[in-house]
Chain A
Amino acid sequence: MPILETQNLTYVYGEGTPFRIEALKNVNISIEKGELVGVIGHTGSGKSTLMQHLNGLLKPTSGKVLLGGEDIHASKEATRAARFRVGLCFQYPEYQLFESTVYKDIAFGPRNMGLNETEIRERVQRAAEFLEIRSDWMDKSPFDLSGGEKRRVAIAGVMAMQPEILILDEPTAGLDPRGRDRITDMICKYGLSTGSTVLVVSHSMDDVASFASRILVMDHGQNVLGGTVDEVFRQVDKLVSMGLDVPQLTKIFLRLQASGVSVRTDIYTLAQAKRELLRLFFEKGGTA
C-alpha cells in the first residue's frame, strides 16, 4: 500500500471571486515508502499547491489525500497528526526563522510535538549533523547568518521533527552551484540513512536526475508524467513542449548521437556519462 496517495485531487484558489484559478485538476499520485521523489514542472504548474495538500495545510476543493490509507481530513486530530507525519519545508524557508537562537529555532517543531528536553536536544543535534550546521552557530541569532546558512537552519527545523515523509519545496532555489550540490547531497543522505520518504520540488533537471528514484511531472495543474528518471527524461519532446528540459549531460549525448556518433542517450548523471565515454574511448581503440 502506498504511504501517501491523492485521489482526484482538485483545488481552486479564490472560488467565487473574479480571480478564480484552478491550480490542481484531478491529480492522482501515489508514493511508496522510502522513495526519493523529484517533482518538476514549469512555474505556476501547481507544484507548491500540491505539496501543501500533502500535509493537510490546504483542504482539497474536491478529492482526497490519503496518508497510510486514511483521509487526512477525516477529523481535526487526523489533520494535526498529518502535520507531524509529513514535514513540509516551504519555498524560501529562511523567512520562517523567528527565534533568538539557531538552536531554539530548530527546536520549535519538536517542541510543538510535545517531546521532552532530552529528546528535543537529540533531534536538533541529529538534524544539525545532516545539514552540517556547526555547533558554534547554535547560540547565534539566525538573522546573523547568510542566506544559504539560514536555508540550512530552516530545513533542519523541519528535519528535526523526523517526519515519515519529508517534503522540500525548491530547497536549492537562489543558491550558488556549490550550495545547491551540498544541500542536494545532504537531503539524499538523509533519505538514504533514515529510510524516510522524501519529495523534492526542483527546477533543476540535473539535481532531480542525480537523486530521484522516481519523477513526477506537473503541467498546468495536472500530473502529466511519472516514472523512473529514465522513463521521464526519455520523453524529450514532451518535456520541451511543457517548458521543461532534460539534464545538461543528456543534451550532450543527444547532440553526439545527432551528429552521427553511436552513443547511448539514456545518460543522466556524471557517473553514467563517465562510463559511457570510457566505453566509447576504448571501443575506438584508445588505451588507458
Chain B
Amino acid sequence: MIKDITIGQYFPGNSLVHKLDPRAKLVLTFVYILLIFLCKNFVSLGILVAYLLVSVLLSRISVRMILKSLKPIVILVCITSVLQIFYNSDGTVLWELGKFKLTTGGVFMALFTTVRIIALVTASALLTYTTSPTLLTDAIERLFSPLKRVHINVHSIAMMMTIALRFIPTLIDEVDKIMSAQKARGADLDTGGIVQRGKALIPVFVPLFVSAFTRAYDLAFAMECRCYRGGEGRTRLRVMRLRARDYIVFLVTAVCVAGIAVANRLLPAVI
C-alpha cells in the first residue's frame, strides 16, 4: 500500500547518530556520496562499507527498515549488474555463449557497482531516518545562508521545504482515506488498463487537491495571524552548536578519507 513508502521517513531515537548536529550529518552524507563516486578499488570501497555499517549499528535503526528502503532500487540494481556483467570483457573468461562472455572483470564490475548503489541509498536513507525533517531543512538553511549575499531568499526556500516535508505524511494519510472512501462507493482503483486507471483516479485527486488548497490557505492565514513575515530578524528556538561528538566524528571521517586516498593511489583500480 501507499503507506509502505519509507524513504524520507523519520524514526525518532536517541542514538549518537540521531544526536549529531544535523548540519554535520548533512555535510558528512554529502562527503560520503562524493567518496562513493571517487573510490576506485575494493579496499577503498571496503572502508566506505565499514563506515556505513558502523553508522547503521550506532543509529539502532533496525536492519529491516534499511532493507525496506532498498526495495525500490532492486530492479535498478539487477539491470545495471546484468549490463555490467555482459558489457565488460576484461580478465579471464569464465563462461561463454556465442557472443556473450562472462569474465572476471565483468563480475567484479557488477559487484562493485551493486555495492556502490546500495551504499548510496542506505546512506541517504540513514540521514532521513535519523534526522527530523524540520532539523534537516534548518540545517540546509544554515549551510546555504551565505547565498543571501547574492539575493537568494534561502529562508523562504527552506520554509517551503519544511512545509512540503511536513505535509507529505498528512497528504499520504489523506490519499489513503479518500481512496478507501471511494472504494467503499465501489470505485475500482486496482484493475483495468492505464487509461481506465487514470480515469479511476479522478475521484481521488479532485478531493485531494481541494483539501490541499484549503489546507494551504488555512496555513497561510494561521502563519500571518502569528505575525510571520519571513526570515528577517527571526531568532531560533533551537540553536545549533557543534559539540565534541561532532568533532570526533569529523576526525574519524577524515581518517577514513585519508585511507581511501591512500588506497586509491597505491592499489590498482577496478574501474
A88 cross-chain contacts in B, Cβ below 8 A: 184
Asked whether B50 is an interface residue with its Cβ less than 8 Å from the other chain, the reply is no
Complexed CA–CA distance, A157 and B181 (Å): 11
**Nearest Cβ on chain A to B198's Cβ, whole angstroms:** 15
Asked whether B187 is an interface residue with its Cβ less than 8 Å from the other chain, the reply is yes
B-binding segment of A106-114, A189-197, A253-261:
A106-114
- Please tell me if the beta carbons of A95 and B180 are within 8 angstroms of each other in the complex: no
Q: Which residue of B lies closest to A94 (CB)?
A: B207
Complexed CA–CA distance, A87 and B183 (Å): 10
Asked whether A25 is an interface residue with its Cβ less than 8 Å from the other chain, the reply is no
- Please tell me if the beta carbons of B206 and A83 are within 8 angstroms of each other in the complex: no
- Please tell me if the beta carbons of A84 and B177 are within 8 angstroms of each other in the complex: no
CB-contact partner of B203 in A84, A108, A161, under 8 A: A108
How many chain A residues touch B (CB < 8 A): the figure is 27
- Please tell me if the beta carbons of B185 and A108 are within 8 angstroms of each other in the complex: yes
- Please tell me if the beta carbons of A96 and B207 are within 8 angstroms of each other in the complex: yes
- Please tell me if the beta carbons of B186 and A83 are within 8 angstroms of each other in the complex: yes
Asked whether A224 is an interface residue with its Cβ less than 8 Å from the other chain, the reply is no
A157 cross-chain contacts in B, Cβ below 8 A: 185
Asked whether A52 is an interface residue with its Cβ less than 8 Å from the other chain, the reply is yes
Complexed CA–CA distance, A120 and B11 (Å): 48
CB-contact partner of A90 in B64, B181, B186, under 8 A: B181
Asked whether B202 is an interface residue with its Cβ less than 8 Å from the other chain, the reply is yes
CB-contact partner of B185 in A18, A95, A109, under 8 A: A109
Asked whether A158 is an interface residue with its Cβ less than 8 Å from the other chain, the reply is yes
- Please tell me if the beta carbons of A52 and B207 are within 8 angstroms of each other in the complex: no
Asked whether A137 is an interface residue with its Cβ less than 8 Å from the other chain, the reply is no
**Nearest Cβ on chain B to A88's Cβ, whole angstroms:** 4
A17 cross-chain contacts in B, Cβ below 8 A: 65
B211 cross-chain contacts in A, Cβ below 8 A: 95
**Nearest Cβ on chain B to A69's Cβ, whole angstroms:** 22
- Contact A16-B64, Cβ < 8 Å, known A88-B184, A93-B181, A158-B185: yes
A-B pairs, 6 with minimum CB distance: A112-B186, A98-B206, A96-B181, A109-B185, A88-B184, A90-B181
**19 pairs, CB–CB < 8 Å, chain A vs chain B:** A14-B3, A57-B184, A87-B184, A90-B181, A93-B181, A95-B178, A95-B210, A95-B211, A96-B178, A96-B181, A96-B182, A98-B202, A108-B185, A108-B187, A109-B185, A113-B186, A158-B184, A158-B185, A161-B185
Chain B residues close to A by CB (< 8 Å): 3, 11, 62, 64-65, 174, 177-178, 180-188, 202-203, 206-207, 210-211
Known: A95-B210, A97-B207, A108-B203. 13 other contacts (CB 8 A): A17-B65, A18-B11, A18-B62, A57-B183, A90-B181, A93-B181, A95-B177, A95-B178, A96-B182, A98-B202, A108-B185, A109-B186, A157-B185
Chain A residues close to B by CB (< 8 Å): 14, 16-18, 52, 55, 57, 80, 83-84, 87-90, 93, 95-98, 108-109, 112-113, 143, 157-158, 161
